[in-house]
Amino acid sequence: MTTPDAQPRPARVRDRSVDVLRGIGIVVVAMGHVDLSGVGGAWAVYLYSFNVALFFVVSGYMWRDAPGTPYWRLVVKKARQILIPYAVLFAISLLYGHIVVRYAFDQPVVPFDLRQTAKAFLLSSEWLNTVPTFNFALWFLPIFFIASALFPLVQKIKPMVVYVPVMLLVMASAIPIQYWLPGRPPLAINVLPVAIGFMGAGFLVRRWLDVRRVGLPVATALFALTLVIAYNFPGNVAAIGTLWYFPSAVASFILYLRIAQDVESSRLLAYIGTNSLVIFGVHGLVANTYGYTPIPSYFAGWNGLIIYVINVVYVVIVTVAIVFAYRWVKARALSRRRTAAPRPTVSGTR
């Protein structure tokens, strides 16, 4: 209850540039999940140097303290935001594999196995490839939940003289952990120190750097730095190889956030960013359909970069169209539910 003179709490203003950045990030992820034969492995090396890391950095960059909120509530909130969509997207991916690929595309598919399916759902990571999900990208969501659930505990460290060394130790631990747990272990747990490290880096960037003040010379230097590190020390979040991976990916984050701030009026990128989780969850399925469409036959005589670009554009447009249709149907259903709901009766007064 508030007094008549109490001032309402100001609503949190959504940072549109971050939505645009997420949109750029989703497009970059899609670029790495289509056929790369037309552009060569060097392009993939650059994409993997920051594409997944960017989302961990964004999470830390957008982190806000919630004083008075019990920790378990934060975990439940993250579970609703990440694990429930993971379960839904996993089910959709299975239906796609067992129905669309098998019957519509007439392709051989591994028969349904409940035990193997449950194993793939619970362990995620490489186990997603043991059942016909055709959506390996879903591995990201469980480890993103784990990192998001643990990060508030790290944020309880308030003095920066302690926080920064702790974050550096977490980052450094990624090298031995990924040495002992190579490849894709259950839940991609070897990515955890990388994820926490990038979240902490994002938090520090927000605290210490006004990205809008980054000018063209600095942005150019950041881009050059990322190229030098990416091609001399190639890696990805599951196998960083060297600690240089961290400053390289953070530099890419700053660079693309600065670009996002310059193009934040882009409605398409902002829309993609606002719906980034759903688009992330279905883009792999859309990418899989490309080879079954008439599009490749239309450009059969073409090769190289143009074919790659057409593939990426197809994935982005179709994925956005699916999400737009989903949101439209959802809005219509909610509108009908409100219309059909009984109106409260007004009782008489004395």
Does residue 349 lie within any of the structural domains? no
Range of the domain at 29: 16-330
Higher pLDDT, 333 or 227: 227
Does residue 348 lie within any of the structural domains? no
What percent of the chain shows pLDDT beyond 90? 85
Please name every residue paired with 244 in a beta bridge, in sequence order, or none if there are none: none
| Burial (CB count <10 Å: 0-12, 13-18, 19+), residue 247 | middle
pLDDT tens digits, 150-160: 999 999 999 99
Does residue 10 lie within any of the structural domains? no
Q: What's the residue count for the chain?
A: 350
Does residue 2 lie within any of the structural domains? no
Does residue 339 lie within any of the structural domains? no
Higher pLDDT, 2 or 85: 85
pLDDT tier for residue 93 given thresholds of 50, 70 and 90: very high
Confidence (pTM): 0.91
Does residue 11 lie within any of the structural domains? no
Report the SS3 class of residue 131.
coil
At residue 156, φ and ψ (nearest 5 deg) are -70, -15
Does residue 59 lie within any of the structural domains? yes
Does residue 262 lie within any of the structural domains? yes
pLDDT tens digits, 236-284: 999 999 999 999 999 999 999 999 999 999 999 999 999 999 999 999 9
Give the single-character DSSP code of 103. Answer: I
pLDDT of 8 above 80:
no
Q: How many domains does the chain have?
A: 1
pLDDT tens digits, 200-218: 999 999 999 999 999 999 9
Is 251 within 8 Å of 209 (Cβ atoms)?
no
pLDDT of 53 above 90:
yes
The pLDDT, as a whole number, for residue 102 is 96
The one-letter amino acid code at 289 reads T
